[in-house]
Chains A and B, each alone.
Chain A
Amino acid sequence: MLTKDLLRYHIAGKRIKPDLIDVKDSRLLYFAERLISLYEESISLRRKELDELLKVEINSKRDQKLAKGIVKVLDDRSEYSLAGETPFPALREKLFALSAEMIRNGKLPENMEKFRTESLANVLAGFPRGEVYGDLPENECLLRVRKTFPEELLERYNMELVRSLLLYSSRMEITAGGGEVQELRRVFKYLKFFRLLCRASSLPGKKKGDEEKFSFVIDGPAAILDNSVKYGLLLAGFFPAVCRLPEWEMRSEITLAEGKSHLLKIDHTSGLKCHFENMGAYIPEEIRLFAEYFREKSLFWHLTERSAFRKLPGGENIFADFTFEHSVTGRTFDLEIFHLWHKSRIEERLKSMEKGELKDYLLAVEKGCVKKDPVLSEKLSSSPSVLLFSNFPGVENVCKFLDKASADFLPEQKKKKHRK
């Protein structure tokens, strides 16, 4: 992301507008191309040597903040490491022992230059270029730079500019529509992954026949108590997922200086592109592994892409984590997973299930959520719709759980057929 000094924006009344760049601008594309080539040709150069080369490129641009920003985005895609095998700490230990001895014994020469050039010259000769602190970050060497194309770099710059502004935000509001519900579900998976909370509601179309839209107010658990930017990093991390939706608008209050907030409003026409090319790239490892293992192990049940989007009376929308379909009976169940950080909704969800508002809906609850609440623990343990787990639900347990839930609901005749 970009540091505060690299943010480019302008204020118009109560609005803050990021100065997004035209990713098709030939001059910018040429600049991006030159930078990429420079990085690719500078493998094994020291960071400070590369910085000198970059200075020339940056100085050639009128908008230095933009130039430095693009460099920062590219640099974040690069990897550095210390070159060579010089054991700096061991060499320093030897050098400092000697310098310390001379100080203690009052043997420092009057001329300070002679201390290096004469008194310690032999030990200093062991340091590459005679640099005692040659292993500082500026002396690290460029190891590799991730393959990047000029337009992709400029697109990424735009995204990082918006995300970097979101670091100073306490909540965001998204309006989305026009897409498949499963795309929304993906967005919700990210929301959960970033431990954010949301209030979701449906917005009816303005005219008859207009498509229904959804509005989500997204923030962190404690944001309701103060407008802290603590969740800014999580919001910035989550935001690219929104850009995968075909139609969206995001609004957020940005507080760059205490007491001064401005509205950031941006939508799908901005051209921002989600860089989570493979949406699975940011999905937590345990979820990815679960899905993989489930597909391998389960005979009758399979994971579907069907919408797990449910609407409760009162307009609230909820999303389950997985939807399972039985290959013989066609029966489907949604499964929502509860971890410690959002356990407070468990009871509410149970009530909705008991009232019949959520049919074919199952819960998997981390045991820690009920550790200190024996009443709730008992209630969950005795419910056929709830699976308790320790770290993450295991595939075999989920299969058994689905079989049991399915059997509990199926009519007798179907049960027999199913057993066969």
Chain B
Amino acid sequence: MEMTSGGEGEKKRIRLEFVSGTLTVTPEDGNMPPVLSHLTVKDERISAYRAAANDYAAILRICGACDIEVKDLARDYKILELNIHSPHTPRAHQQKALESWKKNKGRGIVAMPTGSGKTFLAALAMASIKRSTIVIVPTIDLLLQWEKNLREFFRMDVGMLGGGSHDIKDITVSTYDSAVLNMEFMGNRFGLAIYDECHHLPGEVNRKSASMCLAPYRLGLSATPEREDGGFEIMEKLLGPLVCRIHIHELEGSVLSPYITRRIPVILSAEEQERYTQARQKYISFVRRHNIDFSMKDAWSSFIILAARAPGGREALKGYLEQRSIARYGKSKLEAVWKILRNNPGERIIVFTADNDAAYAMGECFCLPVITHRTKAAERKEFLERFRSGEYPVLLTSKVLNEGVDVPEASIGIVVSGSGSTREHVQRLGRILRAKEGKQAVLYELVSDGTSEMSVSFRRRQHRAYGNYQYNEAPVKELPEETQTGER
């Protein structure tokens, strides 16, 4: 037999330990079984064999298949009695996703649109696997939301890591940042690891939250798992393959609200237009003079370096910032937002901006609550609760509410500015799609006419969620007020 190196019939034995986010694999006779050699590395620093914690399941599987006895000192998670307490029953798409995931031995990624019940699917997976579980999320708002939902689903205390909390329990929710910091100490305490918005996982640092964890069961959740940088392969390696994909149109009108998207060109005032043109001229002529090609990687860094060194560079950078701020949150844009607020008094509205400056500029101008990463925890919680209850009908934000936060009552989204990212745009749309009786969701996209925002807007709408919908191309000033919520 391949796995026996001693006398005939002598059983191979190994000892597994979890050490600093890795596994040490110690063969009893000192010789690593060849079937495990591709997963282990001899670490001379500690005179032992080391393996990645995320290969724990693979090692156990191989040992099981090859009759190698394992003394498992690594695993430190529990089997839990988990029952879901909820009036909801799984919907067909959730059942389908769960079955596909279980069929793949409890490993894999599920792609489902925002608002389609990913948290409930996660709870179903937890109740099915019945192991200590860690849920990893990208933001503090999601951390609080998951903690609340899981506590209610399972009627048990849920630990939190991040946002000032350091409390590890059998069910724990953590931010990606805190998981990276703590996984080397707690990576053996969970049998199931759930990665919400798992497209964040492949980042150089974030991936450590999965590679240093030995959880044999893994679930990745995202509305948009694809990445253009090859990161999807990393996700597959750490979580498993894409086991189920549900498209937005499959759920619209049943699980998700019917919706329309409206792109509204905003005409700059004559004064703004002149300032914009002048500022952009300074920036563009500098870029051309130095042959900076923005389709090349590192072009932006080159521009910044040249702006600091070359003559006219500072003016070019200043010009760039000025033209950007006019396009993103100039007076004409603010007036367009104001008009939409005035025309929709009974609605719950989320206003999205590309950056914090724009969000706070609007917050000051309209005297409205703003949530950014700078908002302190207590106010953040208060703003969200009051928005959910309807006490605050409008919430301004930059990017922190792009993902995951559950606000079923929100029916209008206004994208004042944003990047060219399809993912960001789809996620912003997702914020207003949670179904509610009689709800018709509308996503407004304000684009400063005749500025670089036009091409940015074109790029971010390249997704099937925007494929079959009509756009209102009329400038906001010409829109009759009563038709602001248009028809498909």
Out of B20, B76, B378, B393, which one reaches A100, CB within 8 Å? B393
Question: Chain A residues with Cβ under 8 A from B50's Cβ?
Answer: 221-222, 224-225
Contact present for B184 and A133 (CB under 8 Å): no
Any chain B CB within 8 A of the CB of A132? yes
Interface string of B359-377 (1 = CB under 8 A from A): 0100111111110001010
Contact present for B45 and A197 (CB under 8 Å): yes
Contact present for A222 and B52 (CB under 8 Å): yes
Question: Chain B residues with Cβ under 8 A from A220's Cβ?
Answer: 20
Any chain A CB within 8 A of the CB of B208? yes
**Contacts A96-B369, A112-B365 hold; do A222 and B211 have CB atoms under 8 A apart?**
yes
Question: Chain B residues with Cβ under 8 A from A96's Cβ?
Answer: 367-369, 386, 392
Could you pull out 23 A-B pairs where Cβ atoms are within 8 angstroms?
A89-B382, A99-B367, A100-B392, A104-B393, A105-B345, A108-B341, A108-B342, A108-B345, A120-B367, A132-B367, A133-B360, A133-B363, A197-B46, A199-B45, A221-B19, A221-B21, A224-B50, A228-B205, A342-B46, A344-B46, A345-B47, A348-B46, A372-B76
Q: Please, which residue of chain B has its CB at the minimum distance from the CB of A88?
A: B379
Any chain A CB within 8 A of the CB of B335? yes
Question: Chain A residues with Cβ under 8 A from B341's Cβ?
Answer: 103, 108
**Contacts A96-B369, A344-B17 hold; do A226 and B211 have CB atoms under 8 A apart?**
yes
Q: Which of chain B's residues 18-56 have a Cβ closer than 8 Å to chain A?
A: 19-22, 24, 41, 43-48, 50-52
Any chain A CB within 8 A of the CB of B73? yes
Any chain A CB within 8 A of the CB of B334? yes
| A323 and B50 alpha carbons, distance in the complex (Å) | 31
A13 to chain B, nearest CB (A): 19
Q: Please, which residue of chain B has its CB at the minimum distance from the CB of A198?
A: B45
| A373 and B73 alpha carbons, distance in the complex (Å) | 7
Question: Chain B residues with Cβ under 8 A from A100's Cβ?
Answer: 391-394
Contact present for A224 and B19 (CB under 8 Å): no
Contact present for A341 and B20 (CB under 8 Å): yes
A107 to chain B, nearest CB (A): 8
Question: Chain B residues with Cβ under 8 A from A108's Cβ?
Answer: 338, 341-342, 345
Contact present for B393 and A137 (CB under 8 Å): no
**Contacts A99-B366, A345-B47 hold; do A221 and B374 have CB atoms under 8 A apart?**
no
* Chain B residues engaging chain A, CB cutoff 8 angstroms: 17, 19-22, 24, 41, 43-48, 50-52, 73, 76, 180, 184-185, 204-205, 208, 211-212, 298, 304, 308, 334-335, 338, 341-342, 345-346, 360, 363-370, 374, 376, 378-379, 382, 386, 391-394
Any chain B CB within 8 A of the CB of A288? no
Q: Please, which residue of chain A has its CB at the minimum distance from the CB of B21?
A: A222
| A372 and B17 alpha carbons, distance in the complex (Å) | 10
Contact present for A99 and B184 (CB under 8 Å): no
Question: Chain B residues with Cβ under 8 A from A257's Cβ?
Answer: 298
| A220 and B20 alpha carbons, distance in the complex (Å) | 9
Q: Which of chain A's residues 184-224 have a Cβ closer than 8 Å to chain B?
A: 195, 197-199, 217, 220-222, 224
Question: Chain A residues with Cβ under 8 A from B379's Cβ?
Answer: 89, 92
Any chain B CB within 8 A of the CB of A106? yes
| A95 and B392 alpha carbons, distance in the complex (Å) | 11
Q: Please, which residue of chain B has its CB at the minimum distance from the CB of A136?
A: B374
| A89 and B212 alpha carbons, distance in the complex (Å) | 40
Question: Chain B residues with Cβ under 8 A from A198's Cβ?
Answer: 45
Any chain B CB within 8 A of the CB of A343? yes
| A257 and B298 alpha carbons, distance in the complex (Å) | 10
Out of A97, A225, A342, which one reaches B391, CB within 8 Å? A97
| A64 and B51 alpha carbons, distance in the complex (Å) | 46
Any chain B CB within 8 A of the CB of A387? no
**Contacts A221-B22, A344-B19, A345-B46 hold; do A112 and B208 have CB atoms under 8 A apart?**
no
Question: Chain A residues with Cβ under 8 A from B73's Cβ?
Answer: 372-373
Contact present for B204 and A228 (CB under 8 Å): yes
Contact present for A106 and B345 (CB under 8 Å): yes
Out of B19, B334, B346, B386, which one reaches A104, CB within 8 Å? B346
| A324 and B367 alpha carbons, distance in the complex (Å) | 67
Question: Chain A residues with Cβ under 8 A from B308's Cβ?
Answer: 64-65
A323 to chain B, nearest CB (A): 23
| A348 and B386 alpha carbons, distance in the complex (Å) | 60
Contact present for B335 and A112 (CB under 8 Å): yes
Question: Chain B residues with Cβ under 8 A from A137's Cβ?
Answer: 374
Question: Chain B residues with Cβ under 8 A from A98's Cβ?
Answer: 367
Question: Chain A residues with Cβ under 8 A from B374's Cβ?
Answer: 136-137
Any chain B CB within 8 A of the CB of A258? yes
Out of B45, B204, B367, which one reaches A95, CB within 8 Å? B367
Out of B46, B76, B334, B345, which one reaches A103, CB within 8 Å? B345
Contact present for A103 and B43 (CB under 8 Å): no
Contact present for B393 and A344 (CB under 8 Å): no
Q: Please, which residue of chain A has its CB at the minimum distance from the CB of B51?
A: A225
Out of A217, A229, A344, which one reaches B24, CB within 8 Å? A344
Any chain B CB within 8 A of the CB of A277? no
Question: Chain A residues with Cβ under 8 A from B335's Cβ?
Answer: 112
A-B contact sample (11 more), CB < 8 A, given A89-B378, A221-B50, A222-B208: A99-B366, A100-B391, A105-B345, A110-B342, A115-B367, A116-B365, A225-B211, A228-B205, A229-B204, A229-B205, A372-B73
Any chain B CB within 8 A of the CB of A85? no
Question: Chain A residues with Cβ under 8 A from B180's Cβ?
Answer: 230
A176 to chain B, nearest CB (A): 18
**Contacts A64-B308, A221-B19, A230-B208 hold; do A103 and B393 have CB atoms under 8 A apart?**
yes
B198 to chain A, nearest CB (A): 19
Contact present for A106 and B367 (CB under 8 Å): no
Q: Which of chain A's residues 221-263 have a Cβ closer than 8 Å to chain B?
A: 221-222, 224-226, 228-230, 257-258
Question: Chain B residues with Cβ under 8 A from A222's Cβ?
Answer: 20-22, 50, 52, 184, 208, 211-212
Contact present for B391 and A5 (CB under 8 Å): no
Any chain B CB within 8 A of the CB of A124? yes
| A355 and B463 alpha carbons, distance in the complex (Å) | 69
| A344 and B22 alpha carbons, distance in the complex (Å) | 11
Question: Chain A residues with Cβ under 8 A from B43's Cβ?
Answer: 224
Contact present for B46 and A230 (CB under 8 Å): no
Interface string of A339-382 (1 = CB under 8 A from B): 01111110010000000000000000000000011000000000
Out of A5, A133, A136, A258, which one reaches B304, CB within 8 Å? A5
| A104 and B50 alpha carbons, distance in the complex (Å) | 62
| A137 and B357 alpha carbons, distance in the complex (Å) | 13
Contact present for A344 and B48 (CB under 8 Å): yes
B257 to chain A, nearest CB (A): 21
Any chain B CB within 8 A of the CB of A76? no
B328 to chain A, nearest CB (A): 17
Any chain B CB within 8 A of the CB of A131? yes
Q: Which of chain A's residues 81-101 have a Cβ closer than 8 Å to chain B?
A: 89, 92-93, 95-100
Q: Please, which residue of chain B has its CB at the minimum distance from the CB of A135?
A: B376
Question: Chain A residues with Cβ under 8 A from B366's Cβ?
Answer: 99, 112, 115
Question: Chain B residues with Cβ under 8 A from A92's Cβ?
Answer: 369, 379
| A313 and B282 alpha carbons, distance in the complex (Å) | 69
A141 to chain B, nearest CB (A): 17
Question: Chain A residues with Cβ under 8 A from B22's Cβ?
Answer: 221-222, 225
| A136 and B364 alpha carbons, distance in the complex (Å) | 12
**Contacts A64-B308, A112-B334, A131-B364 hold; do A228 and B47 have CB atoms under 8 A apart?**
no
Contact present for A106 and B364 (CB under 8 Å): no
Question: Chain A residues with Cβ under 8 A from B360's Cβ?
Answer: 133, 136
B467 to chain A, nearest CB (A): 33
